[in-house]
Structure 1
């Protein structure tokens, strides 16, 4: 019997008022348009608009509620019902043919909209208005009244904080990598997942991507018991200025046994990273400055000329698990960490994460043939 109980969670207070107020205003707009429109034009309210209002204002992200589904779904259902009225004699088969045919046509046109089935049923149960108007019935009242309701939804949701029509725009090319979802899944793969679990009509690709990204972030919070980068990072790491000479950079790497050095400006913000390969390349290649001997070239080049962009720079309060994903995806050896002002505050290397993993493994109880020990 549990399957017959409520399947939906309790609504948030904001969603409750947003949905009910939006539906009321949307249908009010339709009713006012009916009053303003000339009576002979044949514009009037139809009952299925109430169901369309539920979708548009309660679940504006759902594929079933999008403008194409609402407008085309209702109109094509009305058209199919008219064809049934014209081609078949009156009888109990007309409602079945109208609703079944409407569903098929909505699916074929990718405009599945549950109120469309109600439009088809209403048309064959009360055929006088539809037969009197003829083909114009599809446009007036079905098409126009649905369009008014959809337009009301677009306007209302601009002020309600929801997005309608819902489409997730591609991230701008200038957006930082850490600000973009990093799922490793493309649109086609997300669509395949929805199709595999038969959820294409209930959930859009954009919503699925957002949910998976949020789940990834949540999982990262729990990984490593919520350890933050600031807890294990190397604070005040060695650094050089953009004006540092290459011989000084090489000396620091040799004396401290390190393979890379962050390049930091006077404001404390990391500008780049010098790795051993960059240093060797800077000392052996002319970099477009003409035929010069290595000694002369060494005096002209500095860290700012040979540094590479910072591969990964993240806030120091990020969870380690989330940073580990970035390092694995880009094959990054180290991550620069910043404080709230964007200044370099530390560095996190793969060795730091390995030490954390080993520390966690040492803290876990060993399991033998009899299983882990338990307290009394």
Structure 2
């Protein structure tokens, strides 16, 4: 028999629904955000004081700037925290607030109208910034000092505070490993510049799928579109790992790798490529760490193969060793190799290589150990074989079940 819940128990359960979910943020990230806000607001206030001195009797730090700091340092990837959002949003809101006060006077009705119009203006100008509403409110109800500034309030302190805080956030976020600003427009371009979708889009949802869903959602998301797409892709990869098991790079890579050094002659490198029927040679230093990679494409580019009739002759001229002391053409691998090189760790799951070998257009990825020494090579063919093997294993498990 089901136990009947008391009114107090039901009330407690109902109240628990208002508790926010736990934040999946490390303590280091929290300290990074708090440290940025501390330094950003302090330096913004000091710089404003230094620039204005005693000429203007204005607050050195406007109260809504504290809310702006939360966005810029706490959630720098948010569309609401981008440079145009903070500068444009705060300035436009200040302009709206001062204008409303000029024509309608100081009242609660003016404050409400100014805030509402400021939000509408920010929507129209694509610079929605929540602290902007507080800026508009301050322009109306900020007291005699703010009212006495008139339209100067838009420049000092609103524009000055916003610019200084944004510039510090630009430096601080990038210095602490947080990309800022974030791209505002997605890149739908094909890897090959054609009408085809990017290879990574063919694996699951496409960028256009995401755009359509966001359009149907019809609400402001406090997360950038590219971050949202990245999270979805990572979720798909995580689901693949759970479904097909742990297949690491070390499980499928080629271990007997043919390599070259910086000083290997082009003639020797070309011979190695032809002899072993491979299309790429990792270039390593004396410690066997990867410093570059030379491929057939590198030979083609440096041979200046614009005219097909002279293909063989131009290639021979490129790889033929010059006997003179000085040469106007490349002589060794180090002069034509591609660098820097994208490598992968031996314990990386192969599904993490899908974006590199498809969307980024790579064909060969050197595999390195914990000390970044070359231990193998993984190609697109290796990845396809591993994914096929994983699919067969999954099918066998389902059949057995």
Instruction: Give me the TM-score of the superposition, normalised by structure 2.
Output: 0.61
- Between the aligned partners of 1:43 and 1:266, the Cα distance in structure 2 is 62
> Which segment drifts farther, 20-29 or 87-96?
87-96
SS of residue in 2 equivalent to 1:227 = coil
Matched-pair contact (CA < 8 Å) for 2:82–2:181: yes
Once the two structures are TM-superposed, the CA of residue 113 in structure 1 deviates from its matched residue by 0.7
The alpha-carbon distance between structure 1 residues 110 and 3, as it changes in their structure 2 partners (threshold 3 A), is farther
Partner of 2:53: 38
Once the two structures are TM-superposed, the CA of residue 107 in structure 1 deviates from its matched residue by 0.8
Gaps of 5+ in 2: 1-13, 192-197, 258-268, 285-289, 297-308, 314-342, 369-373
- Between the aligned partners of 1:53 and 1:324, the Cα distance in structure 2 is 37
Matched-pair contact (CA < 8 Å) for 2:255–2:375: no
- Give a deviation string over 1:261-315, Cα, whole Å, max 9, x none: 6467798999779xxxxxxxxxxxx99679xxxxxxxxxxxxxxxxxxxxxx987
Instruction: Give me the TM-score of the superposition, normalised by structure 1.
Output: 0.64
Once the two structures are TM-superposed, the CA of residue 202 in structure 1 deviates from its matched residue by 0.9
Partner of 2:224: 204
- Between the aligned partners of 1:60 and 1:22, the Cα distance in structure 2 is 11
Once the two structures are TM-superposed, the CA of residue 354 in structure 1 deviates from its matched residue by 4.6
The structure with the largest alpha-carbon Rg is 1
- Between the aligned partners of 1:170 and 1:316, the Cα distance in structure 2 is 32
Count of matched residue positions in the alignment of Structure 1 and Structure 2: 312
- Between the aligned partners of 1:205 and 1:16, the Cα distance in structure 2 is 23
Once the two structures are TM-superposed, the CA of residue 212 in structure 1 deviates from its matched residue by 3.1
Matched-pair contact (CA < 8 Å) for 1:338–1:344: yes
Matched-pair contact (CA < 8 Å) for 1:48–1:118: yes
2:162 corresponds, among 146, 153, 158, to 146
- Give a deviation string over 1:123-180, Cα, whole Å, max 9, x none: 2223533432222211112111222222222232243232332339999xxx9xxxx9
Partner of 1:370: none
The alpha-carbon distance between structure 1 residues 342 and 101, as it changes in their structure 2 partners (threshold 3 A), is same
Partner of 1:18: 32
Matched-pair contact (CA < 8 Å) for 1:88–1:94: yes
Q: Does 1:51 align with 2:67?
A: yes
Root mean square deviation of aligned Cα? 4.7
The alpha-carbon distance between structure 1 residues 361 and 129, as it changes in their structure 2 partners (threshold 3 A), is same
The alpha-carbon distance between structure 1 residues 181 and 66, as it changes in their structure 2 partners (threshold 3 A), is farther
